[in-house]
Structure 1
Amino acid sequence: MRLDKFLADAGIGSRKEVKQLLKKNLVTVNDRLVKDGKTQVDEYADSVFFAGEQVAYQRFYYYLLHKPQGVISATEDKRDQTVIDLLKEEDYREDLFPVGRLDKDTEGLLLLTNDGQLAHQLLSPKKHVDKEYFAEIEGLVTEADVQQFAAGFALTNGEQVKPSELWIKATDERNETSEIHLIIQEGKFHQVKRMFEAVGKKVTYLKRLRMGSLVLEEELALGAYRPLTETELQELKEN
C-alpha cells in the first residue's frame, strides 16, 4: 500500500494534506524518515509514526448516531446542518457517509461509515433488512390497519409497498391519537409517513429504533454517537 493512502485511511488527513505533511519531515517508516507518498508500506507489519506518535492502520470506520430533528442525512449542505457535522474533529473523515437516510424531522438510529460494501448490503432490497420505527399518529390506528399493513398495499400515488409488521402500542380515543411500532424492509421516500397517509392518518413524530441487528440504546443522547462494537459489526455483516 502507498504511504499516502495508509496515512489518509488512518485519518491523518486527505491525500492532498498528507502530501504536505510528508514534506515537513513528520513521518517515519521503520525509524526511517520518509517524504515520498508513493513509498510502499505493509499496513500490518511496518512501524509508521506521524509527529512522534505511532499510526494504527484502520480502513473502515463505523459510528452509530442518534440523529436529532433538524439535521439532514447528507455529507454536506450549504443551508442545513448535516449528520457529518455532528462528528468531533478527531472523528471526521472525508469518506464517511450515512447509510440510507432519515427525514430532516425524523429522529433515531443512523449508521455512519466509509464501508460501501456493508452499506450496500444493508440497503439492498434483496437482503430484506428490518427497519423498526416508533411513531406518534394523529388518528386512531385500528386492527384493520394492522391487517392492511401486513398484506401490503398501494400508496396514494399507486406505488405498492410490501407487507410490513405494525402493532399498536397505545391509543387515546379522547384525543384520537395513537402510538405504534412498525417494521418495514424497504426505504422508499417518506415511506412511513406516506403509508399512514394512505390509511387516512398522519405521522406527527417518528423515530427509528433498529436497523437489522443494530439497536439504538436509550442511553445514547440525541446528537451523540459512538463506534460500533466488534460484536455489533459482526452481527451486521452476518445479516
Structure 2
Amino acid sequence: MRLDKFLVDCGVGSRTEVKKYLKNKAVTVNGKVETSAKCQVDEKADKVTFQGQVLQHETFVYYLLNKPPGVISATEDARHRTVLDLLDDLARRKQVFPVGRLDIDTHGLLLLTNNGDLAHAMLSPKKHVDKIYQAQVRGIMTEQDVERFRQGIELKDMRCLPAELEIMELDEANHTSLVRITIREGKFHQVKRMVAACGKEVTDLQRLSMGPLVLDENLPIGMFRRLTEAERASLSIFGVVL
C-alpha cells in the first residue's frame, strides 16, 4: 500500500495535506523519516508514526452517537447542525455518515460509519432489522393498540409490517403513557404515525437499539464513542467485511 493512502486511511488528512506532512518530515516508517508518498508499506507489519504517534491502519470506522434533539441525521445542511458537527476531525476526515435517519426531534442511538456495504445491509428492507424506541405518549395506550401494532397498522399510504408495542407505564391522572415500540422497517415518521393512527400523540421519542447495537446508558446525550470490539464483532451478522 502507498504511504499516502495509508496515512489518509488513518485519518491524518487529505492526500494534499499528507504530502505536506511528508515534505515536513513528520512521518517515519520503521524508525526512519520518509518523505515519499509513493513509498510502499505493509499496513500489518510496518511501524508508521505521524508526529511521533504510532498509527494503526483501518479502512472502516464505527461510531456510536447518542443523538440529541435539534440535530439532523445528515452530513451537511444549510440551516441546522448535523450529526457530523458533533464528531471530531478524525471522524469527519474518514467521511463517516449516519446509518439511517432519526427525525430532528428524535434522540438516541445512531451509528455512523464509512462502511457503505454495512449501511446498505442494515437498512435493507429484506433484512428486517429490529429498531427499538421508547416513546412518551399523550393519551392512554391500550391492549387494543397492542393488537393493532401486532397485526400491522394501516396508514394512508402504506401498511406497516407487524410491530411490537409494550406498555411500560400508564399515568391516568396526566393521561400519558410510556411505551416501547419495536419496528422492522424505517419509513418516514413511522413510529409517530403509527401512534397517531391509534388516536394518540408521541411527545418524546428515543431510539434504544438498532440490530445488535444498544444505546450506552453511560454515553451522555450529544456525545459519541467508537464501537467496542464486541459491538463491532456483533455486526458480523450482516455478512459484510468490517
| Aligned twin of 1:42 | 42
Match of 2:161 in 1: 162
Q: Which runs of 4+ in 1 moved over 4 A?
A: none
With the length of structure 1 as denominator, give the TM-score of the two structures: 0.93
Q: Is the 8 A contact 1:22 1:37 kept in 2?
A: yes
Aligned to 2:210: 211
Shift of 1:208: 0.3
TM-score (normalizing by structure 2)? 0.92
RMSD over aligned CA atoms reads 1.7
Q: Matched residues in 2 for 1:92 and 1:46: separation? A: 26
> Shift in Å at residue 112 of structure 1?
1.3
> CA offsets per residue over residues 63-112 of structure 1, 9 Å max, x none?
11111111111112222111111123455434111111111100100111
Q: Which runs of 5+ in 2 are unaligned?
A: none
Residue 224 of structure 2 corresponds to: 225
Task: Measure how far apart 1:217 and its partner are.
Answer: 2.6
Moved more, 188-197 or 114-123: 114-123
From the superposition, tell whether residues 25 and 217 of structure 1 become closer, same or farther in structure 2 (CA, over 3 Å): closer
Distance 2:235 2:94 in 1: 23
The question of whether the paired residues in 1 share the 8 Å contact of 2:11 and 2:94 is answered with no
CA drift of 1:25 comes to 2.2
Q: 1:147-193 CA distances to partner (integer Å, 9 max, x unpaired)?
A: 111111321x2312100011111222233221110000101111111
Query: Whole-Å Cα distance in 1 between the matches of residues 45 and 154 of structure 2?
Result: 56
Unpaired runs of at least 5, structure 1: none
Counterpart CA distance in 2 for 1:22 and 1:160 is 57
Aligned amino acid, residue 120 of structure 2: H
Partner in structure 2 of residue 184 of structure 1: 183
Q: Is the 8 A contact 2:9 2:94 kept in 1?
A: no
**Structure 2: distance between partners of 1:90 and 1:224:** 15
Task: Verify the 8 A CA contact 1:3 1:40 in the aligned structure 2.
Answer: yes
Equivalenced residues, count: 238
**Partner-residue secondary structure (3-state), 2:231:** helix
Aligned to 2:70: 70
Please name the residue that 2:195 is paired with: 196
Correspondences of 1:75-86 after superposition (within 5 Å): 75-86=75-86
In the TM superposition, what is the alpha-carbon distance from 1:113 to its structure 2 partner? 1.3
Distance (whole Å) between structure 2 residues aligned to residue 192 and residue 105 of structure 1: 13
Amino acid at match of 2:76: E
Listed one character per residue, the Cα deviations across residues 19-52 of structure 1 (whole Å, up to 9, x for unaligned) are: 2222222223234443332332211122222223
Taking the aligned partners of 1:197 and 1:5, their CA distance within structure 2 comes to 50
Is residue 15 of structure 2 the alignment partner of residue 15 of structure 1?
Answer: yes
CA contact (8 A) 1:134 1:182 kept: yes
Q: Relative to structure 2, which stretch is displaced further, 177-186 or 39-48?
A: 39-48
Q: Which runs of structure 2 are paired with 1:88-167 in the superposition (5 Å)?
A: 88-155=88-155, 157-167=156-166
Letter in 1 for 2:160: V
- Aligned to 2:71, what secondary structure does the other structure show? coil
Alpha-carbon separation, structure 1, partners of 2:182 and 2:224: 23
Q: Match of 2:58, SS?
A: coil
